[in-house]
Amino acid sequence: MKRILILGAGTAGTMMANKLRKILSKETWNITIVDQDEVHYYQPGFLFIPFGIYNRKDVVKPKSNFIPYGVEIIYSAIELINAETNKVTLANGSLLDYDYLIIATGVQTKPDETPGLNGELWYKKIFDFYTVEGSLAMQDFLKTWTGGDLIMAITEIPFKCPIAPIEFVCLADEYFTKKRMREKVNIIFVTPLPGAFTKPIATKMLSTMMADKNVTVVTDYYIEKIDNKNQKLISYDGREVHFDAMAIVPVNMGADVIGTSGLGDDLNLVLTNKNTLRSDKYENIFVIGDASNIPTSKAGSVAHFESEVLFENLMDSINNRPLKAKFDGHANCFVETGFGKATLIDFNYDTEPLPGTYPMTMLGPFSLLKTTWINHLGKLFFRWIYWNILLKGRKLPVTSEMSMTGKVVPADK
């Protein structure tokens, strides 16, 4: 019996378990998935919780609901990956052998990496929305908050769902407008980037949108520490930004076991070939989702597109064929812009987000770099797609490779 071991039963790992179990013979292949948490979180929904749009029940389901029959699931922390001997040690000391290993351990927030972040104001006036606990604490806080300086801050790049901070300020603008207290809230977007986003065309569009919403953008800001007593962000160059309330993206790092096992970089992200999704060090290890160090967004859409490529390459490897499938860095994300509208971005390693329509020319139905109510419906409908199609490894009517269909390249490009 040959063995495939998947580490991580989040979005990426669950998709791979479903895809592989459908194809590989149960008599020949044992598939095991390991995760320390029995609860599956719909992480894109965390963003909506502070504003009362979603609650905990909307983003939580048992992981066992999505693991297919014939896949063994083990709930345990992972102690060590010994890639030389093809063994994984669990927290209780038991050993798991593998012929192929798929690492889908994701990234975790590390508030203790920033001095002062998890101090006396943590979950009192300072919140993350990358955990369900942080989102719920912020929801309770905002219900009675009377206004002041509201900061949306990013500590370090990369982090998962990189458009979420932009969505947060847009939803905050809507939330306080509807509460008839927008004039009492000064929204400030603080980022280490030179603009609102990483790509020029999208940055121009998003920066204009935030200016229209009266959101102040503070760029090139690298947070050194947080002064809880005086309620200030302090950067390495000495700049200070006052806050009365703050949403923040803590440092994101890969799982500790990646670092202790010698498979990652200084952020515990697995060293991965950006095209084949195979480990740079070991031919029988593949990586999917946020766990890798490849230069694209850490987003659910990326994991979905990667899963198609990884599946093909794993099949080629099993059958002793050269790896033919190539991942192009494809990512797309709906971006909530508030008041029942959203925009959409679609890009890859080489092509930045462009205006146009998606996925088809003229018909769309979604608009790229344009705010529409249809995009907003697409964002909301994605939750159903996530639970019922994506996690179960079913195909969506979009290609893993980015298409230029419907896109318009500006004349000055």
Are 164 and 243 members of one domain?
yes
The owner of tokens 């520490």 is: 225
Question: How far apart, in whole angstroms, are the C-alpha atoms of residue 382 and residue 30?
Answer: 32
**Same domain for 168 and 145:** yes
Across the strands, what pairs with 348? Answer: none
pLDDT band at 198 (very low <50, low <70, confident <90, very high): confident
Query: Are 205 and 354 contacting, i.e. CB atoms less than 8 angstroms apart?
Result: no
384 occurs within a structural domain: yes
Kindly state whether residue 63 falls inside one of the protein's structural domains. yes
Which of 290, 318, 346 is a domain's end point?
Answer: 318
Percent of the chain with pLDDT over 90: 94
Q: For the segment 276-292, what is each residue's pLDDT rounded down to a tens digit?
A: 999 999 999 999 999 99
- Evaluate whether residue 405 is within a structural domain: no
CA distance 294 to 305: 14
Instruction: Please report the pLDDT score of residue 361 as a whole number.
Output: 75
Q: Which two tokens stand for residue 275?
A: 């095209």
Question: Per the domain annotation, does 399 fall within a domain?
Answer: no
Q: What distance in Å separates the CA atoms of residue 362 and residue 35, rounded to the nearest whole number? A: 44
Residue pair 312/277 in contact (Cβ under 8 Å)? The answer is no
Give residue-wise pLDDT tens across range 199-258.
899 999 999 999 999 999 999 999 999 999 999 999 999 999 999 999 999 999 999 999
In this structure, what CATH number is given to the domain that contains residue 281?
Answer: 3.50.50.60
The reply to whether 402 falls in a domain is: no
Please indicate, yes or no, whether residues 258 and 236 belong to a single structural domain of this protein.
no
| C-alpha to C-alpha distance for 302 and 70, rounded to whole angstroms | 26
235-274 as b/e: b if 16+ CB within 10 A:
beeebebebebbbbbbbbbbbbbbbebebbeebbbbbbbb
Verify that 52 and 102 share a domain, yes or no.
yes
Q: Which amino acid is at 77?
A: A
For residue 317, which phi and psi values (nearest 5 degrees)? -65, -45
Number of domains in the chain: 3
Do residues 47 and 76 share a domain?
yes
How high does pLDDT run on average in the chain? 96
Strands 78-82 and 240-242 come out as: unpaired
Environment class of residue 90 by beta-carbon count within 10 Å: exposed (0-12), middle (13-18) or buried (19+)?
middle
146 and 241 fall within a common domain: yes
Between 409 and 142, whose confidence is greater? 142
Q: Are residues 121 and 220 in the same domain?
A: yes
Q: Does 292 lie in the same domain as 302?
A: yes
Tell me the backbone φ, ψ of residue 228, rounded to 5 degrees. -65, -40
pLDDT at position 232: 98
The domain boundary residue, chosen from 251, 274, 296: 251
- Does 143 share its domain with 153? yes
Q: What per-residue confidence (pLDDT) applies to 410?
A: 84
pLDDT tens per residue across span 266-276: 999 999 999 99
Range of the structural domain that residue 267 is part of: 2-109+253-318
The alpha carbon of 113 is separated from its chain's Cα centroid by a whole number of angstroms, namely: 19
Does residue 115 sit in the same domain as residue 242?
yes
What span, in angstroms and rounded, lies between the C-alpha atoms of 201 and 214? Answer: 20
In a domain, 403, yes or no: no
Task: Classify residue 296: in a domain, yes or no.
Answer: yes
Banded model confidence at residue 413, pLDDT cuts 50, 70, 90: low
**Tens-place pLDDT, residues 35-72:** 999 999 999 999 999 999 999 999 999 999 999 999 99
Over 70: is that where the pLDDT of 403 sits?
A: yes
Assess contact for 116 and 224: CB atoms under 8 A.
no
Q: Is residue 305 part of a domain?
A: yes
Q: Do 11 and 86 share a structural domain?
A: yes
Q: Are both 118 and 238 inside the same structural domain?
A: yes
